[in-house]
């Protein structure tokens, strides 16, 4: 029998998508499913981005530069300056989504067997990228009782080994919504400088901050050679399918190395770069209405959750995710039961079990991640379903 590689066997299933077959089966039975399991915004993609694609007039869709179209990279310089990030277009490599930026960072900075420290819970696909790159993720636990604040510096120090090469954070965070403070970012900088580590910063949700300001890793003075920014337009412009991201750093040796990986895959998506370039010219207040809408959804979701018996959900500072602790024993079983065996007035809810966002086995068993990407009316209906489901589930 033909064998599957060890790496293939180690690749984890997505906690966000693994329940899709059960959701599809529920829909075939006529049940309406409220999808709070995945960060797919329902906000419309800006018309200017779609119009830029519609008005394409070239005759041949050519490869772009491996680092991305120069015109787009120059536009990104303008965008980053508006965020207080001073870079030039040579310090930006356009990638196939933020996913490729993360994978390129792992492959360029770490050898197989090297370690990256990540506060947990963390975006589940970091595990997948680590497996693909042969890298070991070392989780450090943050806790729901503190709103998932940065773990103590002692926890990082105890986890650093001779194979540690980087620390990775996401702020605002997926899956917790936690927004790291300036003091926490400075703490991370001090650890990285002390131990000569890279600081990988996933800033996909930069625009969506509700409590306090966003402090980019690129704002950390004195850590310019350590910081690697991984970015994406997916959530920023509600353009997940465009698959356009960026790796940004001032470390020239790292840029030269990443470019080799970029050349090996030839070029990032051409048409999507045109759409992304058009987005840079959106009005400065474009994000205001979107941010206000997500904040309204957050407030409804969190208040409804905390009003339920035995449920606790800290208030997220940003992004559009929350993790809630439920009065259940096994989130994986509960989330599958919601789709297989439960409906309330012909409706049910799809959640992501939090177990898949932890690197430490056994954690998150009574937690779920909710993405507040539906309108307020739908969130209320979904919370009605969840409240009724908890009552029924705990009687069985």
Give whole-number Cα distances, 61 to 53, 68, 147, in Å.
12, 14, 47
Domain check: are 352 and 375 in the same one?
yes
Contact 270, 63 (CB under 8 A): yes
Residues 89 and 117 in one domain: yes
Report CA torsion sign: 277, 283, 284, 286. Answer: negative
Q: Is residue 1 part of a domain?
A: no
Percent of the chain predicted with pLDDT > 70: 99
Rounded Cα–Cα distance for residues 281 and 5 (Å): 46
Res. 3 pLDDT band, cuts 50 70 90: confident
Helices (H) then strands (E): counts for the chain: 13, 12
150 plus 254 within the same structural domain: yes
Both tokens of residue 13? 């299933």
Q: Are residues 362 and 325 in the same domain?
A: yes
Q: Are residues 341 and 371 part of one domain?
A: yes
Which structure tokens are listed for 246? 């960026």
Confidence of residue 17 (pLDDT cuts 50, 70, 90): confident
What pLDDT digit, counting tens, does each position of 182-236 carry?
Answer: 999 999 999 999 999 999 999 999 999 998 899 999 999 999 999 999 999 999 9
Q: Read off the pLDDT of each residue in 366-383 and give the average, rounded to a whole number.
A: 97
| Residue 251 CB coordination number (10 Å) | 18
Q: What are phi and psi of 96, to 5 degrees?
A: -80, 85
Confirm whether 348 is domain-assigned: yes
Q: For the chain, what is the mean pLDDT? A: 96
Within-domain flag for 18: yes
DSSP strand E in the chain: where?
32-35, 92-95, 115-120, 136-141, 164-170, 198-202, 227-232, 245-248, 321-325, 347-350, 352-353, 367-371
**Residue 263 within any structural domain of the chain:** yes
- What pLDDT does residue 396 have? 73
**243 within 8 A of 213, measured Cβ to Cβ:** no
Q: How do residues 319-349 score in pLDDT, each as one tens digit?
A: 999 999 999 999 999 999 999 999 999 999 9
Looking at residue 378, its pLDDT comes to 97
Tell whether 146 and 261 lie within a shared domain: yes
Average pLDDT over residues 22-51: 95
Cα angle, residue 205 at apex, residues 204 and 209 outer, rounded to 5°: 160
- Structurally, how many domains does the chain consist of? 2
In this predicted structure, the answer to whether residue 15 has a pLDDT above a threshold of 80 is: no
In this prediction, residue 395 carries a pLDDT of 82
Q: 298 and 228, same structural domain?
A: no
Write the pLDDT tens digit of every residue in 29-40: 999 999 999 998
CATH of the domain at 101: 3.40.640.10
Instruction: Give the pLDDT score at 245.
Output: 98
CA distances from 49 to 67, 74, 290 (A): 21, 17, 16
Q: In the chain, what is the greatest distance between 2 CA atoms, to the nearest angstrom?
A: 64
CA distances from 385 to 23, 342, 343, 380 (A): 15, 9, 8, 9
Q: Looking at 248, 279, 310, which one is the last position of a domain? A: 279
Collapsed DSSP state (helix, strand, coil) of residue 140: strand
Together in a domain, 306 and 246: no
Alpha carbon separation from 16 to 23, 37, 329 (Å, rounded): 12, 6, 19
* Strand-pair partners of 118: 139
pLDDT of residue 68: 98
Give the pLDDT confidence score for residue 109 in this predicted structure. Answer: 98
pLDDT grade for 98, boundaries at 50, 70 and 90: very high
State the residue range of the domain holding 291: 6-44+287-393
- Residues 216 and 206 sit within 8 Å (Cβ to Cβ): yes
- pLDDT band at residue 269 using 50, 70 and 90 as cut-offs: very high
Q: Are 79 and 201 in the same domain?
A: yes
Rg of the chain, C-alpha, whole Å: 21
In a domain, residue 172? The reply is yes
Give the model confidence (pLDDT) of 69-79 as tens digits.
999 999 999 99
Summarised one tens digit per residue, pLDDT across range 108-119 is: 999 999 999 999
Q: Is the pLDDT confidence value at 304 over 90?
A: yes
CB atoms within 10 A of CB 309: 9
Last residue of a domain, one of 279, 308, 331: 279
Give the C-alpha separation, 212 to 182, whole Å: 10
Domain membership of residue 253 (yes or no) is yes
Q: Confirm whether 72 is domain-assigned.
A: yes
314 and 296 assigned to the same domain: yes
pTM, two decimal places: 0.95
Same domain flag for 319 and 382: yes
What is the pLDDT, as a whole number, of residue 2? 86
Give the CATH number for residue 318: 3.90.1150.10
Is the model's pLDDT at 389 over the cut of 90? yes
Averaged over 253-282, what is the pLDDT?
Answer: 98
| Residue 108 resides in a domain | yes
Domain final position from 279, 299, 324: 279
Specify the pLDDT at position 8: 79
**In the prediction, which pLDDT does 308 show?**
98
Mean pLDDT of 153-168: 98
Please tell me whether residues 270 and 336 are part of one structural domain.
Answer: no
Distance CA 236, CA 252 (A): 27
């Amino acid at each position: 029998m033909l064998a599957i590689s060890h790496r293939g066997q180690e690749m984890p299933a997505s906690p966000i998508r693994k329940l899709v077959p059960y959701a599809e089966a529920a829909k075939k039975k006529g049940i309406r499913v409220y999808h709070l399991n995945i960060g797919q915004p329902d906000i419309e993609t800006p018309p200017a981005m779609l119009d830029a694609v519609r008005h394409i007039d070239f005759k041949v869709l050519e490869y772009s530069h491996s680092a991305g179209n120069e015109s787009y990279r120059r536009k990104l310089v303008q965008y980053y300056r508006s965020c207080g990030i001073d870079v030039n277009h040579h310090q930006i490599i356009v990638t196939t989504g933020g996913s490729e930026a993360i994978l390129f960072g792992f492959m360029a900075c770490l050898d197989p067997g090297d370690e990256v420290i990540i506060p947990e819970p963390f975006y589940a696909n970091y595990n997948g990228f680590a497996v693909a790159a042969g890298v070991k993720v070392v989780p450090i636990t943050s806790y729901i009782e503190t709103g998932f604040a940065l773990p103590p510096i002692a926890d990082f120090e105890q986890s650093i080994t001779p194979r540690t090469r980087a620390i990775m954070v996401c702020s605002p965070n997926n899956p917790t919504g936690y927004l790291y403070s300036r003091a926490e970012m400075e703490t991370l900088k001090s650890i990285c400088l002390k131990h000569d580590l890279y600081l990988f910063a996933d800033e996909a949700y930069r625009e969506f901050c509700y409590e306090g300001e966003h402090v980019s890793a690129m704002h950390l003075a004195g850590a310019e050679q350590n910081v690697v920014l991984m970015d994406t337009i997916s959530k920023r412009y509600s353009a997940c399918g465009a698959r356009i991201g960026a790796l940004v750093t001032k470390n020239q040796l790292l840029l030269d190395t990443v470019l080799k990986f970029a050349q090996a895959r030839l070029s990032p998506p051409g048409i999507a770069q045109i759409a992304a370039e058009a987005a840079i010219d959106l009005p400065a207040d474009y994000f205001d209405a979107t941010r206000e809408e997500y904040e309204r959804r957050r407030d409804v979701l969190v208040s409804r959750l905390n009003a339920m018996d035995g449920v606790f959900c800290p208030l997220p500072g940003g992004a559009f995710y929350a993790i809630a602790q439920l009065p259940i024993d096994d989130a994986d079983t509960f989330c599958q039961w919601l789709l297989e065996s439960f409906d309330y007035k012909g409706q049910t809810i799809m959640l992501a079990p939090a177990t898949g966002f932890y690197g430490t086995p056994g954690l998150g068993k009574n937690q779920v991640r909710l993405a507040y990407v539906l309108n307020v009316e739908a969130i209320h209906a979904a919370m009605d379903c969840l409240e009724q489901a908890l009552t029924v589930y705990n009687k069985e």
